[in-house]
């Protein structure tokens, strides 16, 4: 008995969308430390706007970057922490003058470490009587850690440094295309 496998050709849609190319230096990384509307392993759901007041008061400089939530192991500094439609976007720089900073950079670069996790104090929350889930409405953000196993699987590093050369190449190629070369 023979099987017939048919391949259907589909038309591709052409989309035009703006692209943001921002080079990360070799000691920088970015990602989402929290995502809105998703349930973590502890039964918490962070709601959009939960970080707004804390970020307005503290800013990135007062939120610590730690390794695995260990207060005695700071590994870098946060340059950008902001809420967007998806969650809590972060961009940080590892301090490679420290051994742990160098180790984290190497592990992030190879994908062996890619989780992000928040350390916080709950200011306002509401428990859903039907589901038992706790909806976090306002959070005082203390720290964001690079971790092996985040409570929220979608809280991850999305890009790691060394993108500067690639971004420059893309810019040059785009300029050449615009110039008709």
Task: Write out the catalytic residue numbers.
Answer: 69, 117, 143
> For residue 58, which phi and psi values (nearest 5 degrees)?
-100, -40
> Alpha-carbon distance 94 to 26, whole Å?
9
Residues 100/106, Cβ–Cβ less than 8 Å: no
The three-state secondary structure class of 60 is helix
Residues 90/28, Cβ–Cβ less than 8 Å: no
* CA distances to 54, 58, 116 from 45, in Å: 17, 22, 16
- For tokens 């695995």, name the residue: 68
169 φψ region: left (φ > 0), alpha (ψ -120 to 50), beta (else): alpha
């Amino acid at each position: 008995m023979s099987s017939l496998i048919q391949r259907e050709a589909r038309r591709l849609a052409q989309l035009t969308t703006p692209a943001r190319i921002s080079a990360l230096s070799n000691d920088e990384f970015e990602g989402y430390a929290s995502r809105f509307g998703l349930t973590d392993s502890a039964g918490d759901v962070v709601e959009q706007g939960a970080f707004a007041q804390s970020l307005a008061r503290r800013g990135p400089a007062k939120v610590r970057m730690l390794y695995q939530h260990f207060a005695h192991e700071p590994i870098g500094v946060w340059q950008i922490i902001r809420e967007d439609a998806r969650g809590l976007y972060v961009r940080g720089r590892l301090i490679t003058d420290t051994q742990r900073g160098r180790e984290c950079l190497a592990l992030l670069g190879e994908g062996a470490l890619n989780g992000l996790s928040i350390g916080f104090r709950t200011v306002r929350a509401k428990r859903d009587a039907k589901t038992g889930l706790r909806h976090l409405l306002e959070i005082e953000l203390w720290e964001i850690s690079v971790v092996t196993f985040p409570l929220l699987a979608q809280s991850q590093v999305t890009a790691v440094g060394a993108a500067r050369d690639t971004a420059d190449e893309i810019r040059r190629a785009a300029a050449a295309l615009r110039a008709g070369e």
